[in-house]
C-alpha cells in the first residue's frame, strides 16, 4: 500500500477554504432566488455603504479636530462609538451573508492554527467589522493630516483596539453559541436575560429617587471607563503626542493585556471545538422518564387540525430561547424611553423633544416596537419547521391551516405583548390617554394585518431555514427583509399621512377611523391571500422542501 | 379483477436536462408487500416522492386506491402513511407530542390520538423516553418513531423510503414486526431498500428501476423464473443475482486504484 501523504501547508489550506467559499457563493447563484438575493444585498449594501462612507468622513474630520485642537475626549468618544458598533451590531443583525462554519471542515487534516485563522477571518469579513475597520482607517487619516507624530502612536493603538474587537466579537459568539446550544445553559441564560430586563426597569425610578446621592458613584464609574479599551487607546495617543513615553507604553501594554485575556477566553472555545466538541442537544439528553401520553390541546374556535398545529408552534416557540428573548425586547425599549422622560416641564425641553419624552408617546412607540419584533417572525414563519415539513405535505391537510395556526400564534404573542406594554407604560410613565391608546390599537391592527398578509406570501416564496437556539448564521432571506422593509415604509408613510391629515382637519378621531377602514380592506386582502396559500404551497412544495428540509 | 393500491401511467420526472424517471408504469395490488429496488440514483426516491405527493410529476398519472393524486390529494393522503427519506420529524417535540400531533393531522380526535400514541410507544419500546425531545433520540429511535407516526391513523397504503437504513438488528426486528401486522390487517406496503436480503425475506412482489426506467416488475418467483430461463443454467437465483442481472449483468470488474496497491 502506498504511504500516507502529509497534511498540506497552512497557506494551501487557507487557499482551499477560500476557494470553497467562492464555489459555494457561485453555486448559490444557480437558482433564481440566489440571484435575487444577491441583487437585494447589492442594493441594500450600496445604501448602507454610502452611509458608512459618509460617517467615516465625519469621524476622520472629528479625529483631525481632536488632534489639531487637543481634544482627547472627542477622540475617545469616537473610539467608543466604533468599539460599540463593532460589538453590538453583529449581535443585533447577525451578518448578511451565509457563514461557512470552520467546524464543518474539521474532518480534514486542518491545522489548529489554520482553524484559528479561519475563525478570525470570519470576524474580519463581518460587515460591521469591515465598516469599523474603515472608520478606524478614516480616523487615522484625519490624525495623519493633523499630526504625523500622533499617527505613529495612533497606528499601534488603533491596531490593538481592532485586534481586541475582533477577538471579543469572536469570543462572544463562541461562548454564547456554546451556552445557547444546550437546553440547561440556554434556560439559565434566558432567565438571566429576563432578570436583567426586569431589574433594568427599576433603574430610572431609582435614579430619580437617589440621583443626587448616586452622583459620586457615577463620577467614579465615568473615570473607571477610562481604563476600558477605547479610553486607553485614546490616552495612548494623547500621552505619546505629549512625549510621555512611559504612560503611552503603559496604555499600550494595557490594551495588549486585554487582547491576551480575551484571546485566552476565545482559545478555550476554539480548542474545544477543534478537539471535536459536539454542541448538539444530543450531548445532554433531557430528563428521561415514562409518563402517560396526554391528549393534545383543544383550542376554542378553531378546527382540531389548526389546534394541533398551534400547539406544535407554541411548543416550538417556547423551546426556542433566542426567539422569545427577542420578543422580550419591547420591555427594554420601554425602559429606554422611560429613562429619557421629563416629568416636570423643563425650560430647555421644548417642541419635538418634549413631545418625544411625553408619557403619551411610550405606548405608541412600545407597540410599534412590538409590531416590528413580532412581524419579524411572520416573514419567515416556516423557518423552524424544516425537518418536519415533509410531514405537513404528506398529511391530508390544507396548507392554509398551517399558516392560520402560525398567524394565530403571532396574533396571541402580539396581543400579550401589547398588554404588557400597556401595563408597563402605566407603571413607568402614567396612564396613556385613551385617544392615544385607541389610535395606536387601530393603527397596530391595520399594520399587523398588512404584515401578516405579506408575511404569508413571503414565507412561501422566500423561505430561509433557521435552527432553534442558534445565534450564528440565523438570518432571513435578503428578499424577505426587503419586502418587510417595503411594507413598513408603506405602513409608516400612510399612517403619518393619515395622522397629519386628521390633525390638520382638527379631529384626530378621523385618523382612528381611517386605520379601521384600512384594517377592514386589509382583512379582505388577508383572507384572499389565505385562500391562495394552499395552492401556492402545493405548487412550490419542491422549492420549500429543498430550502427548508435540506440537511445541515 | 384485483384492486390496485398503487397505479402509475407514464410517470416521468425531469430535473432540467436530467430525466430522473421515465415512463414508469407501476401496478401494486392491494395487500402486497412490494419492494421497489434500484441502484443509487436510479430514481427510487424520486418515484416515491411523486407517489406521496411531495414531488410533482412532469407527466403521467398516479392513482392510489383508485383515487387520482393530482385531483384529490387530500383524499389520497388520508389513506396513506409515509416514512420519507429524511424521516420528517418535528424534532423539538417529544415522542408523545409528535405522535399525538401526527394522529390529529390525519384526523384522529385528541383522545384516540393519545391512546394510539401510548400503544405505539409501548410497541416500539420508546415509552421510557417520553420526556426526551426527538432531537435527543438515536437514529434507530427516530426511525421507529417515524414509522409509528406513519401508521397511527391505520393507513391502507404505507410508503417507506429506506426504512432499514442505519438501523440495528433490534430496531429492525421491531420495524418488521410492525410491518407484518400491517400486512396481516390487509394494508399494502411499498418500500425501497438497498438491503436485498430483507426485501427478499419480506416482499412478495418487487419492481426494479434502473436509470429512471422500470426494467422488471412482478413476484419474486416470476422474476426468478424469467431470469433463470434466460440464463438456462438451472440455478436457483437469489434476489441479489436477479437484481444484478436486471440492472446490468454480473458485478462489473472493480478497477484498481493506483495509490491503494
Q: What is the pLDDT of residue A94?
A: 46
* Range name among A12-16, A116-120, B80-84, B144-148 with the lowest pLDDT average: A12-16
Residues of B in contact with A2 (CB under 8 A): 258-261
B96 touches chain A (CB under 8 A): yes
Task: Using a cut of 0.80, tell me whether the model's pTM lies above it.
Answer: no
Q: How far apart are CA B181 and CA A238, in angstroms?
A: 83
Q: What is the pLDDT of residue A25?
A: 78
Q: What is the pLDDT of residue A357?
A: 53
With cell 399525538, the residue in question is B100
Mean pLDDT on B81-97: 89
Q: What is the pLDDT of residue A242?
A: 85
Which residue, among A118, A98, A229, has the nearest Cα to A165 in the 3D structure?
A229
Q: What is the pLDDT of residue A98?
A: 42
Nearest to A281 among B97, B136, B260 (CB): B136
Residues of A in contact with B114 (CB under 8 A): 293-296
* Range name among A157-161, A288-292, B245-249 with the lowest pLDDT average: A288-292
Q: What is the pLDDT of residue A256?
A: 93
Nearest to A396 among B106, B129, B133 (CB): B106
Burial (0-12, 13-18, 19+ Cβ within 10 Å), A199: exposed
| Contact by Cβ (8 Å): A385, A392 | yes
> Which helix (H) or strand (E) covers residue B104, if one does?
helix B95-105
- Is a pLDDT exceeding 80 seen at residue B184? yes
Q: What is the pLDDT of residue A450?
A: 95
Q: How sure is the predictor about B193, in pLDDT bands with cuts at 50, 70 and 90?
A: confident
Nearest to A288 among B55, B92, B128 (CB): B128
Mean pLDDT on A104-109: 73
Q: Which three cell numbers stand for residue A18?
A: 477560500
Give residues 33 to 52 of B whose Cβ lies within 8 Å of A.
Answer: 52
Mean pLDDT on A230-243: 88
- Is a pLDDT exceeding 90 seen at residue B159? yes
B8 phi/psi in degrees, rounded to 5: -125, 145
| Phi-psi domain of B88 (left: phi exceeds 0; alpha: psi -120 through 50; beta: other) | left
Residues of B in contact with A308 (CB under 8 A): 100-101, 104-105
* Range name among A207-211, A236-240, A305-309, B27-31 with the lowest pLDDT average: A207-211
% of residues, chain A, pLDDT over 70: 78
Mean pLDDT on A185-195: 66
| Contact by Cβ (8 Å): A299, A310 | yes
B128 touches chain A (CB under 8 A): yes
Residues of A in contact with B97 (CB under 8 A): 312, 315
Q: What is the pLDDT of residue B209?
A: 92
Rg of chain A over CA atoms, in angstroms? 27
Mean pLDDT on B167-190: 87
Q: How far apart are CA A172 and CA A266, in angstroms?
A: 8
Q: What is the pLDDT of residue A270?
A: 87
Residue of B nearest to A398 (CA): B74
Q: What is the pLDDT of residue A455?
A: 95
Q: What is the pLDDT of residue A297?
A: 84
Q: Is B106 within 8 Å of A387 when comparing Cβ atoms?
A: no
Nearest to B93 among A285, A294, A312 (CB): A312
The residue extents of the domains of chain A are 55-209+226-281, 304-548
Q: How far apart are CA B191 and CA B157, in angstroms?
A: 11
ipTM above 0.90, yes or no: no
Q: CA A475: distance to chain centroid?
A: 9
Residue of B nearest to A1 (CA): B261
- The average confidence (pLDDT) of chain B is 88
Mean pLDDT on A259-271: 91
Give residues 261 to 300 of A whose Cβ lies within 8 Å of B.
Answer: 280-282, 285-298
Nearest to B132 among A285, A312, A320 (CB): A285
- Is a pLDDT exceeding 50 seen at residue A110? yes
- The average confidence (pLDDT) of chain A is 81
Q: How far apart are CA A193 and CA A173, in angstroms?
A: 16
Residues of B in contact with A278 (CB under 8 A): none
Higher pLDDT, A44 or A403: A403
| Contact by Cβ (8 Å): B13, B57 | yes
Higher pLDDT, B30 or A93: B30
Give residues 374 to 413 of A whose Cβ lies within 8 Å of B.
Answer: 384-385, 387-398
Q: What angle do CA B174, B176, B179 make, to 5 degrees?
A: 110
Q: What is the pLDDT of residue B217?
A: 92
- Is a pLDDT exceeding 90 seen at residue A369? no
Q: In the structure, how many helices (H) and strands (E) does chain A have? A: 21, 0
Q: Annotate A244-274 with three-state secondary structure.
A: CHHHHHHHHHHHHHHHHHHHHHHHHHHHHHH
Q: How sure is the predictor about A507, in pLDDT bands with cuts at 50, 70 and 90?
A: confident
Mean pLDDT on A111-131: 81
Amino acid at each position: 500500500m502506498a504511504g500516507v501523504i502529509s497534511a498540506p501547508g497552512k497557506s494551501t489550506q487557507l487557499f482551499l477554504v477560500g476557494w470553497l467559499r467562492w464555489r459555494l457563493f457561485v453555486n448559490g447563484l444557480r437558482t433564481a432566488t440566489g440571484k435575487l438575493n444577491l441583487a437585494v444585498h447589492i442594493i441594500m449594501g450600496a445604501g448602507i455603504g454610502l452611509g458608512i462612507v459618509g460617517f467615516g468622513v465625519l469621524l476622520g474630520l472629528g479625529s483631525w479636530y481632536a488632534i489639531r485642537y487637543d481634544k482627547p475626549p472627542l477622540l475617545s468618544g469616537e473610539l467608543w462609538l466604533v468599539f460599540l458598533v463593532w460589538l453590538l451590531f453583529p449581535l443585533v443583525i447577525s451578518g448578511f451573508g451565509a457563514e461557512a462554519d470552520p467546524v464543518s471542515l474539521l474532518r480534514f487534516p486542518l491545522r489548529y492554527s489554520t482553524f484559528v485563522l479561519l475563525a478570525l477571518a470570519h470576524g474580519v469579513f463581518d460587515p460591521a467589522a469591515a465598516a469599523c475597520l474603515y472608520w478606524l482607517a478614516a480616523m487615522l487619516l484625519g490624525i495623519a493630516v493633523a499630526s504625523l507624530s500622533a499617527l505613529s502612536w495612533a497606528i499601534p493603538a488603533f491596531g490593538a483596539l481592532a485586534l481586541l474587537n475582533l477577538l471579543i466579537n469572536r469570543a462572544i459568539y463562541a461562548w454564547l453559541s456554546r451556552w445557547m446550544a444546550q437546553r440547561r445553559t440556554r434556560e439559565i441564560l434566558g432567565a438571566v436575560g429576563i432578570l436583567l430586563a426586569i431589574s433594568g426597569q427599576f433603574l430610572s425610578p431609582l435614579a430619580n429617587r437617589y440621583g443626587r446621592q448616586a452622583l459620586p458613584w457615577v463620577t467614579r464609574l465615568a473615570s473607571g471607563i477610562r481604563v476600558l479599551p477605547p479610553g486607553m487607546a485614546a490616552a495612548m495617543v494623547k500621552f505619546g503626542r505629549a512625549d510621555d513615553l512611559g504612560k503611552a507604553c503603559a496604555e499600550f501594554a494595557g490594551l495588549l493585556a486585554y487582547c491576551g485575556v480575551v484571546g485566552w477566553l476565545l482559545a478555550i472555545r476554539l480548542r474545544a471545538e477543534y478537539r471535536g466538541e459536539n454542541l448538539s442537544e444530543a450531548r445532554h439528553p433531557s430528563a428521561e422518564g415514562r409518563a402517560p401520553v396526554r391528549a393534545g390541546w383543544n383550542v376554542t374556535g378553531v378546527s382540531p387540525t389548526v389546534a394541533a398545529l398551534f400547539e406544535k408552534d407554541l411548543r416550538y416557540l417556547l423551546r426556542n430561547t433566542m426567539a422569545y428573548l427577542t420578543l422580550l425586547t419591547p420591555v427594554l425599549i420601554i425602559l429606554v424611553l422611560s429613562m429619557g422622560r421629563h416629568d416636570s416641564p423643563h425650560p430647555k425641553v421644548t417642541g419635538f423633544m418634549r413631545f418625544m419624552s411625553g408619557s403619551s408617546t411610550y405606548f405608541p412607540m412600545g407597540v410599534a416596537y412590538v409590531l416590528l419584533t413580532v412581524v419579524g417572525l411572520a416573514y419567515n414563519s416556516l423557518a423552524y419547521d424544516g425537518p418536519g415539513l415533509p410531514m405537513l405535505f404528506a398529511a391530508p391537510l390544507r396548507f392554509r391551516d398551517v399558516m392560520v395556526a402560525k398567524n394565530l400564534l403571532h396574533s396571541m404573542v402580539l396581543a400579550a405583548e401589547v398588554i404588557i406594554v400597556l401595563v408597563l407604560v402605566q407603571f413607568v410613565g402614567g396612564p396613556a390617554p385613551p385617544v392615544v391608546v385607541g389610535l395606536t390599537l387601530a393603527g397596530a391592527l391595520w399594520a399587523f394585518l398588512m404584515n401578516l398578509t405579506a408575511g404569508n406570501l413571503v414565507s412561501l416564496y422566500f423561505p430561509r431555514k433557521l435552527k432553534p437556539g442558534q445565534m450564528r448564521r440565523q438570518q432571513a432571506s435578503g428578499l424577505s427583509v426587503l419586502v418587510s422593509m417595503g411594507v413598513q415604509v408603506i405602513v409608516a408613510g400612510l399612517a403619518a399621512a393619515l395622522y397629519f391629515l386628521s390633525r390638520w382637519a382638527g379631529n384626530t378621531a378621523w385618523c382612528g377611523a381611517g386605520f379601521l377602514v384600512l384594517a377592514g380592506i386589509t382583512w379582505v386582502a388577508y383572507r384572499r391571500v389565505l385562500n391562495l396559500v394552499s395552492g401556492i404551497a402545493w405548487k412550490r412544495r419542491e422549492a420549500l422542501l429543498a430550502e427548508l428540509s435540506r440537511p445541515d | 379483477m384485483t384492486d390496485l393500491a398503487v397505479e402509475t401511467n407514464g410517470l416521468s420526472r425531469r430535473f432540467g436536462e436530467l430525466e430522473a424517471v421515465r415512463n414508469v408504469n407501476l401496478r401494486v395490488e392491494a395487500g402486497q408487500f412490494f419492494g421497489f429496488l434500484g441502484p443509487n440514483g436510479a430514481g427510487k426516491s424520486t418515484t416515491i416522492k411523486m407517489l406521496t405527493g411531495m414531488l410533482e410529476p412532469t407527466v403521467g398519472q398516479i392513482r392510489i386506491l383508485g383515487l387520482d393524486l393530482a385531483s384529490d390529494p387530500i383524499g389520497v393522503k388520508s389513506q396513506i402513511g409515509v416514512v420519507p427519506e429524511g424521516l420528517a420529524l418535528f424534532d423539538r417535540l417529544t415522542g408523545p407530542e409528535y405522535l399525538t400531533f401526527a394522529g390529529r393531522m390525519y384526523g384522529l380526535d385528541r383522545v384516540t390520538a393519545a391512546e394510539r400514541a401510548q400503544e405505539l410507544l409501548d410497541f416500539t419500546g420508546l415509552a421510557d423516553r417520553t420526556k426526551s425531545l426527538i432531537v435527543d433520540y438515536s437514529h434507530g429511535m427516530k426511525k421507529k418513531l417515524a414509522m409509528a407516526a406513519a401508521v397511527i391513523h391505520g393507513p391502507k397504503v404505507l410508503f417507506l423510503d429506506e426504512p432499514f437504513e442505519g438501523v440495528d438488528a433490534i430496531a429492525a426486528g421491531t420495524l418488521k414486526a410492525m410491518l407484518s401486522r400491517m400486512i396481516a390487517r390487509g394494508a399494502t406496503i411499498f418500500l425501497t431498500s438497498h438491503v436485498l436480503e430483507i426485501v427478499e425475506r419480506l416482499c412478495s412482489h418487487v419492481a426494479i428501476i434502473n436509470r429512471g426506467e422500470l426494467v422488471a416488475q412482478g413476484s419474486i418467483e416470476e422474476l426468478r423464473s424469467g431470469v433463470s430461463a434466460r440464463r438456462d443454467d438451472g440455478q436457483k437465483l437469489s434476489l441479489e443475482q436477479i437484481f444484478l442481472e436486471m440492472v446490468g449483468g454480473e458485478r462489473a470488474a472493480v478497477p484498481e486504484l493506483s495509490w491503494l496497491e
